[in-house]
Chain A
């Protein structure tokens, strides 16, 4: 079955092969397992980029295929990061506390250890009590479950409320943006229980694996990220290739028609919204241990907007487009903003890319929207000679919501 599925979807096979090749090449060039041509920090950057690719796949599913422009998926991504971050921070602090208490003549009680950990973690926000949400922080299994459950539950509740009242199109986008804003405001508070704007830090240190050097850990995470991206891509490709994909594309193009076919549009949207939130959570849980720190600024609405930018530039409605867009834009962005790009002296003024990159990105985004709605992935069409239906001038692409189209024609 799997073979035939891959055979029917050659782009998936090509993508997975490319991903595997990429992973092997990076491994062979890394400091830990190979020639050492790629620095550890760059391996981490590449691993993070793979995670961004995974969240972009989720975004493409929900936006490119189902037409829901969610400005909340980076919030789900961040929540996943927070969930794994809680365990990482708790366990690591516990190790530190236990080793520092080991010299005491009288062995510490469990309460004393917990108090000391609380003091270490929450001292920075003037507290030492463990909030209720940290109840499972000592269990890796439970926190891993929460990585999926917390974003999923938030998406489910929010989606249930929003879709039930038939909020769609730009209204839904604005509403998801408001949700993201509310979440980041909440996390910015010191009494949110997640260390306010300090966020969680030191996540790159894996508890119990202090002996393993970061070069090796970075490769492990690269592998894990590649595996997650591969599996996520496969899942997404499987979903969109079948009847479910048919239905969600139908919802994107003409929601009312799908409803009159007897499909409960709300149920489909909710299922997809929740599923992609879970995928985003997983991507975040793999991303932030490589980044080392997570704070509420990561969740701010602008991050979700950038996610939409990646997918749009990569080419929405195509899974590989999303991955390519996320990889390309985020790598180029970090190259420009990281100060590596050479300044351009104009005589009277020097263009510093650190200052000007965002302007270029913003404007190129406008240009892509106007002139290349298929994004970078549109270039692949030139190779594959893919045919697009003649829509007689009426663009029924992902963005012209069914509602608008009908209103416009009335």
Chain B
């Protein structure tokens, strides 16, 4: 399996505090990975670095078959390269309809002029319908997304992420605030997505991680502490000490 993202030797410091310390990480083109770790382990900062929000002090971030360097690219450029991100808190555009939210996320030209003269094609509209069905919002397409429930907003965000058709999905605590049935559905969508693309899930909920049934990376103090199957990792004494055993 070829490598999609390779992070090596990355460090970042905030005012003397090393949030990420010589971190190395790689993920294949179609792979599911869960990242766990205690608070302050650097999970969110790691995502910030990959998506370009935070500039690392040192290290390499290589992307795709051509080994493009993501360092120094803008967030938007990285997103266009195929990195999609879902935030911890659902962030959808509340003042706009579900339909508008999804159309905005659809994989199309992103330049101001292309967007200014954009007219949705039949294919685009069909895709929106399909996505809406997948996330269970087909009846809410013309409602303002601000009127949706918290869970529905989570769904909408996942739908927008899928509409982007990213090659790498970075998902931050997708199951927070969901009912058990919704978690089940979320798991299915993520597992389905991981068949064709790379998915990185940051999650606190061990049960959810277990259900994802994938390789796990444990972060601690900005570096990788352990990596492997969940059973394997949870048996690791270091991991038990810093995280599970607390």
| A contact residues vs B (CB 8 Å cutoff) | 239, 242-244, 246-247, 249-250, 253-254, 256-257, 259-265, 267-268, 271, 387, 389-391, 396, 409
- Asked if A254 and B91 make an inter-chain contact with CB atoms under 8 angstroms apart, the answer reads yes
Closest Cβ–Cβ distance, residue B218 to chain A (whole Å): 25
Nearest CB to that of B144 among chain A residues? A389
- Asked if A263 and B110 make an inter-chain contact with CB atoms under 8 angstroms apart, the answer reads yes
Q: Give bound CA distance, A46 to B146, whole Å.
A: 40
Indicate if B147 sits at the interface (CB-CB under 8 A).
Answer: yes
- Asked if A261 and B91 make an inter-chain contact with CB atoms under 8 angstroms apart, the answer reads no
- Name B111's contact: one of A257, A267, A389, A396 (CB within 8 Å): A267
Indicate if B100 sits at the interface (CB-CB under 8 A).
Answer: yes
- Asked if B118 and A243 make an inter-chain contact with CB atoms under 8 angstroms apart, the answer reads yes
Nearest CB to that of B170 among chain A residues? A260
Which of the listed residues B51, B79, B115, B160 has the most CB atoms from chain A within 10 Å of its own CB?
Answer: B115
Chosen A-B contacts, 23 in total, with CB atoms closer than 8 Å, are A243-B115, A243-B118, A244-B118, A250-B93, A250-B96, A253-B93, A256-B53, A256-B75, A257-B91, A257-B92, A259-B79, A260-B75, A260-B84, A261-B79, A261-B105, A262-B80, A264-B77, A268-B115, A271-B113, A389-B147, A390-B146, A396-B146, A409-B89
Q: Please report which residues of chain B, range 77-129, place their CB below 8 angstroms from some CB of chain A when the two chains form the complex.
A: 77, 79-80, 84-85, 87, 89, 91-96, 100, 103-105, 110-113, 115-116, 118-120
Indicate if B188 sits at the interface (CB-CB under 8 A).
Answer: no
| B contact residues vs A (CB 8 Å cutoff) | 51, 53, 74-77, 79-80, 84-85, 87, 89, 91-96, 100, 103-105, 110-113, 115-116, 118-120, 144-147, 160, 164
- Asked if B94 and A264 make an inter-chain contact with CB atoms under 8 angstroms apart, the answer reads no
Q: Give bound CA distance, A199 to B64, whole Å.
A: 60
Residues in B whose Cβ lies below 8 Å from that of A396: 94-95, 146
- For the complex of A and B, the 8 pairs showing the least CB-CB separation, nearest first, are A389-B146, A262-B79, A389-B144, A262-B80, A264-B76, A271-B112, A259-B75, A244-B116
Closest Cβ–Cβ distance, residue B40 to chain A (whole Å): 14
Residues in B whose Cβ lies below 8 Å from that of A390: 146-147
Residues in B whose Cβ lies below 8 Å from that of A257: 87, 91-93
- Asked if B104 and A261 make an inter-chain contact with CB atoms under 8 angstroms apart, the answer reads yes
Residues in B whose Cβ lies below 8 Å from that of A259: 74-76, 79
A243-B115, A396-B94 are contacts. A261–B160 as well, Cβ < 8 Å? yes
Q: Give bound CA distance, A172 to B99, whole Å.
A: 32
A244-B112, A268-B112 are contacts. A263–B76 as well, Cβ < 8 Å? yes
A249-B95, A264-B110, A389-B147 are contacts. A242–B85 as well, Cβ < 8 Å? no
- Asked if B79 and A249 make an inter-chain contact with CB atoms under 8 angstroms apart, the answer reads no
Q: Give bound CA distance, A368 to B85, whole Å.
A: 38
Residues in A whose Cβ lies below 8 Å from that of B92: 257
Nearest CB to that of A264 among chain B residues? B76
Q: Give bound CA distance, A271 to B110, whole Å.
A: 13
- Asked if A265 and B146 make an inter-chain contact with CB atoms under 8 angstroms apart, the answer reads no
Q: Give bound CA distance, A184 to B75, whole Å.
A: 37
Residues in A whose Cβ lies below 8 Å from that of B85: 260
Nearest CB to that of B77 among chain A residues? A264
